[in-house]
Amino acid sequence: MSSPLHIVILAAGEGTRMKSSLPKVLQPVGGRPMLAHLLETAQALEPARVHVVVGAGADRVQAACDAFQVDWVLQEERRGTGHAVLQAMPGVPDTAEVLVLLGDHPLIPADLLAELVGGRDAPLSLLTMELDEPTGYGRVLRDVAGRVCAVVEERDATREQRAVREVNTGIVLAEAGALRRWLGQLDCDNVKGEYYLTDIFAMARGEGLPIRGLLAPDPRDLQGANDRRQLALLEDRFRERAAGALMDAGVSIADPRRVDVRGRVTAGSDVSLDINVVLEGNVRLGDGSSIGAGCVVRDCDLAAGTRVHPYSVVEGVRTTGACEIGPFARLRPGTELSSGCKVGNFVEAKNARLGEGSKASHLTYLGDSDIGRNVNIGAGTITCNYDGANKHRTTIEDDVFIGSNSALVAPVTVHRGATVGAGSTLTKDAPEDALTISRARQATVRGWKRPHKKDAGR
């Protein structure tokens, strides 16, 4: 029977170099906190328990990640990585394997960790990477057989050792009993007065125990973020991976460097994304749908054939058939468009449902509205849904024609087949199959003189 896996995530750092009131592990990558990415990866390994060691902003960290099943461990005094791991050990049985992860390393692939965990042939293992510029990292030294014989911190390394490009990532797998023993032997006799987890490698070698080192294929997936520059590099790598996954699924992307995925996206076949598209939250793109340049799509379910034209912002929108959105449209949560709908330029809709074939082509506001089939809404039409205290609904039934520059003061119903004359303000229901006009009679004043400015010199 294999040993249970316990994962310890170190997430207590303040991240002072971020210069932010937000705890470091809550800084976003791909629209989600770094720690949330890592917790999702940890869950994929199906561990017996996940222990997260928190310190700075502990309450905010827990609140942001309360959807995950986690044992939260408070490190009241932050005295180094070894001290942090030690705080979690009371919840770990000696029969377990312990995988130590760093909370500001959000992009570690689950399959790479699975490979590390799956090769439990040594009491101590570590994940390593090769860097062209390894300055600042502990160097991983191997013997002639390729086995790890030491991890030397840069400050203690010789010139020859500093030339080594393989470095320690800080990700460690150890037998719980041995790890507990080594942590108990740590001392803080160093410049910072901290207990370093890396000191356990020397202890293992001192006991004659083998150390396994697994070299990661791509060091970009094992980078952390201590400042805004490093955070931007993580964002860039996340963008590359997310765009690559979409293209692997058959999505056509005009320029993968100019598409930002900040959530979970599922896409059908023959989907296309133009440049500078931002996809946020949970987004589903049906077969043959397309997103134009400069669009923001957030928490949307877009049916097959839906076309979002350039510079539109759509949030919380559902389409049930092929339809046209934009350009320059803003659709807000609760908007639902049926097959054949067109919502054009400078149209805003919120909590509005449009039936098949209905169109609002330009310069319109549709709020809290139920709109039937084959309705034409003229330019400049607004539904006046808010009385200053409460929202009210507007109902427009099938086959209605609304003339330009009309105001529909809710609650009001425009019945089937009605026509509303341009420039009307409706405060009462419009009957079916009739023309309703509500506007002042046009008049001309003869002999009227336009006022002029007074002579500035007088």
Active-site amino acid positions? 362
Residue 393: which of 366, 375, 372, 374 has the closest Cα?
A: 366
Q: What is the dihedral of CA 206, 211, 217, 220, to 10 degrees?
A: -40
List phi, psi (to 5°) of 436.
-115, 130
- Asked whether the beta carbons of 317 and 302 are under 8 A apart, the reply is yes
Cα-based distances in Å from 13 to 30, 42, 65, 152, 304? 21, 19, 16, 23, 45
132-141 long-range CB contacts below 8 Å, 24 or more apart? 132/165, 134/162, 134/164, 134/165, 134/166, 134/167, 137/167, 137/168, 138/167, 138/168, 138/198, 139/164, 139/166, 139/167, 139/168, 140/164, 140/166, 140/167, 140/168, 140/213
CB-based contact 399:416 (threshold 8 Å): yes
Inter-helix orientation angle 199-206/176-184, to 10°: 110
